[in-house]
Structure 1
Amino acid sequence: MSDRERALACLSQIDPAGLSYDDWLRVGMALENAGCTASDWEQWSARDRERFHEGECFKKWKTFRGHTPPVTLGTLIEMVRLSGGQMPRDEENEWDFGDDEEGGAFGWDEPLLKKPKVKPIVDVNWVQNDELPPPAKDWAPGDLVRYLEAMFLSEDLVGYVAEAWFDERKQKWLPKKGVCDRTAAQLIEEIQECKGDLGSVLGDWNKEVGAWIRINPLDGKGVRDENVTSFRHALLEADEDELGKQLAIIRDLELPCSCIVHSGGKSIHALVRVEAKDQAEYRARVDYLYKLAAKNGLKVDSGNRNPSRLSRMPGVTRAGAPQYMISGKCGRTSWEDWVEWVEDAQDDLPNPEPLAPWILEPPPLADVLIEGLLRKGHKMLLTGPSKAGKSFDLIQLCIAIAEGLKWHEMQCAKGPVLYVNLELDRASCLHRFRDVYRAAGIEPKNVGLIDVWNLRGNSVPLDRLTPKLIRRAQKKGYLAIVIDPIYKVITGDENSAEQMAAFCNQFDRICLALGAATIYSHHHSKGDQGHKRAIDRGSGSGVFGRDPDAVLDLIELEVLKDRRHALENFVVCARLADELARRGLDLEKVDEESRHEHQAFLMAAQGAFQSIAADLADVVYEALKHAARLSGWRIEGTLREFPQLFPIKCWFNYPVHHPDPWGLLDDAKAAGEDPPWMANQKEKAEAKKERNDMEQEELEKAILEHGGAGSATVQEIAEALCVIDDTVRSRLKKNQKYGYKSGLVIEKSRRKDD
């Protein structure tokens, strides 16, 4: 649904006849901003037959473009909400104007982190009408003095209106512009000295119509919003319920009022202290006030929002009825105090409960989802460096849950799972699932239990995504929701503990709403991570590692040269054995001892099966390339609900992680895991060993080139290697195969002391 479609849907819920002129203009500005046309505005405006003038919309429309600040679609949405309108659902954008009660839908434009949702505090079905107090004995003109003292500072210029004009088209009296020529102190002094003749101070007013007074001080240059000097009060008026009910709701809401005035008609005027520092804050606070009032049963007149608004002046009569003060200062002491009280009254927090009933027989724990690791309805984070295969590992987990298999040797409960793909294009993601099934050797018997939600290019911050996810998943019965990766939906600064705590609360919201485990991935911070604890390796705030019930961390291990050589042996020997078996050849024709060293295995196999010697060499070549691509990893866990997890060593064999059956990674370490001094020592020792191995290889080669043991002399070898004789003797002492005697190179088994 486009912005224009949303705007037109809003218009169907707004009655132009019930709007003030200012609000009518705001509707036009919002329509222009949403991409509507002047014809849309005019067609809607024509519903107000009394005030509609053909062509007026088109004249005003030309002045809207570039208006600062812009009036947006949110204004129309707020008008609909305040009027109690119901909007059609927009499946794509979650546009729902239903109740904000628990279990209800969330609005498409309602970020969860900005403010708590406005919920009812007053149950209007049980409101008991308050009895309206009668006017004070000195209400005329005493109430006007009390009003001025409550609403204004002594130096504030006060605007008021005593004159009215009759609108023939509407058939009603309306206030004129009025005056603003005296301070509150001057007016009070003149009223106190007028001996009851209020007309001598303000001018005579129409006794059938009454008089009005501005709710905020002005600058004396005009009576518009831009002339307001202090955004102190907002006018709250509702005129569709009994006055006693209006008063009861105002008091039950503990609104921070400077005074409450009887209009002399069918409404009560609550003058609420909003105490805003500027007009922008004033608008935000009035929006909050009106929204909460509407939620609690007051049918608020939204035309009273602006700060220069006129309210009924107490101390005068209107068609024989007194306009008087019902109450002076009442409710909470300040706006901040009231907002805090409102939010406390609306919280969804559970009450404390006694421990005694549960100490002997606690309630049952949530069922286990992953054996020894995670329960249903809990949270798990998988961290690791870029390109560690985190996504493949989570896909393996989804498959293990759907098929009821093990994941890293931990049994998973069987059931439906949702994989939320935020990073890959749709085709790549689906290919990965197929590839992992095949590489792991798993038959897709229950692949129907896996749902994939592809959101690359369509992802939104998690606070906006959460309600959409919940709505789509609440009837699916998922055991787990896997979100991969979270950097795509992070809201706020990932280094801010406060903002990330609020962000992580969305995972709790998913768990609570769906009863499913929420599993998500995150990347490492930059640099070597070996010196850090697994819980602290994730990028950003430490909240990431401390909020989940289980944290698994993937860290790459440094595979030393001898271990890499051993790995090559295992991989190549296994491939050669598989190749012989695939061809139906007898493995026993290769002696047992040769099968454990890949070069010996290849030579023996080529000798036994000469017709396929070249093919076997190709197998070895491909196996060596494959072994070179394998990377070693360690998975460490920090668990809240289970005993500490023993580190899991595995090889990433694209696209799956396999256990390390050979134990080659048992003592392998990650980069940065050793302290610098120890790492330097190891590096020097490895360099020394590599240099020694190279020297021994050169020595043996030179000996063979000079006739081998019994023929080659120490002097000949020294000349061939460009070293002195003593260096050759030193190297021969270290060599396991050769020695020397009387200047002649001999086999070590025959060597005697020189």
Structure 2
Amino acid sequence: MALKYEGYSVSDWESWSRNDQGRYHDGECEKKWETFDGANSPVTGATITQLAKDNGWQSHGGADGDDFIGWDEGFVATDIDKGYKIVNTDYVVGQEIKEPTNWNPSQEIVDYMKTLFNAGDVIGYVNDGYPHKQGEIEKWLPNKGVYTKTAGEIIDGLRRNKGDIGAVMGDANPEIGAWIRFNPLDGKGVKNDNVVDFRYALVESDSMSLEQQNEIMHKLELPIATLTYSGSKSIHAVVKVNAANYPQYQERVDYLYKIVEKNGLKVDKQNKNPSRLTRLPGFERQGKKQFLIAKNIGKHSWEEWEEYIEDMNDNLPEMKNMSDLFDKPIVLAPELISGILRQGHKMLIAGPSKAGKSFSLIQLAIAIAEGWKWFGFNCQQGKVLYVNLELDERSAKKRFVDIYNTLGRGHNHVSNIDVWNLRGKTSPMDKLAPKLIRRAEKADYKAVIIDPIYKVLTGDENNAHDMSLFVNQFDLIATELKCSVIYAHHHSKGIQSGKSSIDRSSGSGVFARDPDAILDLIELPVEEQRYMQRVNQAICNVYDLAIKKFNPMYDEVGVDDRFSEKQMTHHLMAAMNKLPNGQQLLKQINEQRNIAVEAMRQATAWRLEGTLREFPKFKSVNAWFQYPIHVLDDTLQDIKLEEEPTAKWKKGVKKSNQSRSEKTKQELEEAFNILSEGGEPVEPKAIAEYLEIAKSTVYARIRKHEGFKIIDGLIEKSNSK
């Protein structure tokens, strides 16, 4: 009902309803649509908005609602990445307007109406008004005028009466000239509700000379139906918009006004209404003629003009000649992460589940904010935005606190970190990027970290075209904010050690080839002996610290003793036995010992490798992921991966025997079997999170495999009952 009231068509409702295949029935919408005849208290767009608010809905922009688009507002697609500057006003000298030499008022009216209207269109015109004083200035304002005649009746009347305008349209007041409404009416009134076809919009400006207005309107290639001199300080362009309904009319007029204003014409915003009056040629106004300057100029249609504007603003740089290549030194962007990433470039961290990718990103955010090292690489200090898509706000704060405390270096510059918590409020990346840019454009961030990206993934991650569009949003953020964009992605399934770091990311190769730096985490196979060594050292460290804290006078611990659990146990007992509360302290120390041992046992070893566009390849970095941070350990360098690169061809042969389709089907079945309880249906979101892919990818895989189906929004096996 609200859609119909607001001017939408039944096809709008149909296309939306088709999203629910479980309840949608072909033709049902149209039957119901015909029964919506309105009421004294109609259901409107505002009604729907209020119902949503009453049931807990909030605009995506939060409490301030700055992202909400009202039903009565126009919508303009974001132009955050476009200047839309076509005309250089510094060089606009003006294009002459020629007054007609053989003035034929009747023919002016006929030509004007035949250009804008069909013979059966009801038009509204005004040729009289009343004086209205604003301060010291007196203006003539139009009356309601005539709004029941058709264009055909007026044209025929002028011909029959041999051009006698007064006999057909009434005598005009020479002080005010005449006006006409540029869209056809229903013959019942002159308001927006009486407009029956949203064909045209009016562009009027008096911010510069008439000749300059004329030149800009021509240079913009506006799809102008009629261009009229008003008899005063402005020319009036009636522009073809050909909107299907009022909301689309608002959208197109907003876009039109935005373009002309960016190119020097300050538009009169009062002319946005489709029922607005414009000057009618063929009349005189205080001794000056209102006449047609031109008809049907510029682009042929709105669509052609819009395409022209977008093509002119493709955001591509101009081609540059290299003649001055050696004239001055080339200054590259500063290094954000020394030897890894320059400011304004993009970086991907890839790794399997449980590699601590999110923790490493938070650790990186802290390193940039504080100017510390990260995985051994120096970071340039500055502000950083961490876009948190997965954790609730308190959990995200807890991670930052835990990592800061574990690093143990204070938090002097924690104010350099901003966090945007979007769990449960995410939107696809192409919608999120403009909002992020708008909020962050004045913050001067060195880096924006987005974690995790599968939450905002659009399209099928295995589709190169879809992923190209997706990663282009990172370019948009980096370019507009002049900062680095850093994000994490998961590995494909299977053993990764035989692959290069550029080929380990899941999905399309776009992920691997788009970033300027790819850092890859791969798990190292650690033998029990190495774990025992770490446990031994952890115990020794706990005992050594306890002795220094509780009995600093005890000085019998030798340098070599600090590496022997047996010796440190002996020293601990001796030191504590000299204290009156030694036994109680031993209990506390043993609790710390057990915590340290558990931490060592739960730690996993990782190797960080990289593929860099701007820098030479670096020596691999080895670290333990010891919750909640990665701790460097050079002794891990001697560990060989499970599969040497020399065996890569063997894995390739094996892989070729299994098609991608079979592989994705097996993964889907595995996820379903694990998540389903006794064959019960599973939510797509659960499978997406288990496989670390987007929901859209889950749907795409289900469509390809006959073994699954979606019923009432849940995934079931086709043979389940």
| TM > 0.5 | yes
Aligned to 1:747: none
Number of equivalenced pairs: 561
Aligned to 2:598: 625
Closer, same or farther in 2 for the Cα pair 1:311/1:436, shift >3 Å? closer
Q: Does 1:667 align with 2:641?
A: yes
CA offsets 1:451-472 (integer angstroms, 9 cap, x no match): 2224336998342233433413
State the distance in 1 between where 2:453 and 2:347 align.
Answer: 15
Aligned to 2:356: 389
Extract unaligned runs of 5+ from structure 2: 1-39, 50-62, 67-73, 427-431, 548-555, 578-585, 656-721
State the distance in 1 between where 2:121 and 2:572 align.
Answer: 109
For the 8 Å contact 2:366–2:417, the answer to whether it is kept is no
**What letter matches 1:571 in structure 2?**
R
Aligned to 2:320: 353
CA offsets 1:699-720 (integer angstroms, 9 cap, x no match): xxxxxxxxxxxxxxxxxxxxxx
For the 8 Å contact 2:95–2:215, the answer to whether it is kept is yes
For the 8 Å contact 1:529–1:537, the answer to whether it is kept is no
Aligned to 1:509: 479
CA displacement at 1:664 relative to structure 2: 7.2
Aligned to 1:652: 625
Closer, same or farther in 2 for the Cα pair 1:243/1:541, shift >3 Å? same
Closer, same or farther in 2 for the Cα pair 1:234/1:669, shift >3 Å? same
Extract unaligned runs of 5+ from structure 1: 1-62, 73-91, 96-108, 475-479, 596-600, 680-754
Closer, same or farther in 2 for the Cα pair 1:522/1:205, shift >3 Å? same
For the 8 Å contact 2:517–2:612, the answer to whether it is kept is yes
CA displacement at 1:549 relative to structure 2: 0.9
Aligned to 1:45: none
Closer, same or farther in 2 for the Cα pair 1:570/1:159, shift >3 Å? same
For the 8 Å contact 2:124–2:184, the answer to whether it is kept is no
Q: Which has the higher contact order (CA 8 A, sep 6+)?
A: 2
Q: Which stretch has the larger CA shift, 310-319 or 142-151? A: 310-319
State the distance in 2 between where 1:432 and 1:70 align.
Answer: 42
Q: SS at 2:443's partner residue?
A: helix
**What letter matches 1:651 in structure 2?**
W
State the distance in 2 between where 1:472 and 1:608 align.
Answer: 55
Closer, same or farther in 2 for the Cα pair 1:301/1:394, shift >3 Å? closer
Q: SS at 1:300's partner residue?
A: coil
Q: Does 1:305 align with 2:272?
A: yes
Aligned to 1:373: 340
CA displacement at 1:259 relative to structure 2: 1.7
For the 8 Å contact 2:451–2:487, the answer to whether it is kept is yes
Q: 1:453 aligns with which of 418, 424, 438?
A: 418
CA displacement at 1:550 relative to structure 2: 0.6
TM-score, normalising length: structure 2: 0.63
Q: SS at 1:657's partner residue?
A: strand
State the distance in 1 between where 2:229 and 2:250 align.
Answer: 25
Aligned to 2:240: 273
User: What's the % identity of the aligned pairs?
Assistant: 33
Q: Does 1:217 align with 2:189?
A: no
Closer, same or farther in 2 for the Cα pair 1:552/1:112, shift >3 Å? farther
Q: Does 1:261 align with 2:231?
A: no
Q: SS at 1:503's partner residue?
A: helix
Closer, same or farther in 2 for the Cα pair 1:266/1:328, shift >3 Å? same
Q: Where do 1:363-512 residues align within 5 Å?
A: 363-385=330-352, 387-397=354-364, 406-409=373-376, 411-413=377-379, 415-416=381-382, 418=384, 420=386, 422=388, 435-436=402-403, 439=406, 443-444=409-410, 447-448=412-413, 451-456=416-421, 461-473=432-444, 480-485=446-451, 487=453, 490=456, 495=461, 496-497=466-467, 499-509=469-479, 512=482
Closer, same or farther in 2 for the Cα pair 1:666/1:140, shift >3 Å? same
Aligned to 1:164: 128
For the 8 Å contact 1:494–1:500, the answer to whether it is kept is no
TM-score, normalising length: structure 1: 0.61
Q: SS at 2:440's partner residue?
A: helix
RMSD, aligned CA: 5.1
Aligned to 1:175: 143
For the 8 Å contact 1:567–1:664, the answer to whether it is kept is no
State the distance in 1 between where 2:90 and 2:47 align.
Answer: 39
CA offsets 1:140-198 (integer angstroms, 9 cap, x no match): 22222222332234x542414366354789984523341444454x6545534432323
State the distance in 1 between where 2:341 and 2:375 align.
Answer: 13
Closer, same or farther in 2 for the Cα pair 1:256/1:379, shift >3 Å? same
**What letter matches 1:175 in structure 2?**
N
Q: Does 1:194 align with 2:161?
A: yes
Which has the greater radius of gyration? 1
**What letter matches 2:112 in structure 1?**
Y
Q: Does 1:550 align with 2:531?
A: no
Q: 1:147 aligns with which of 112, 119, 130?
A: 112
CA displacement at 1:138 relative to structure 2: 4.8
Q: SS at 2:442's partner residue?
A: helix
Aligned to 2:488: 522
CA displacement at 1:660 relative to structure 2: 5.7
For the 8 Å contact 2:75–2:251, the answer to whether it is kept is no
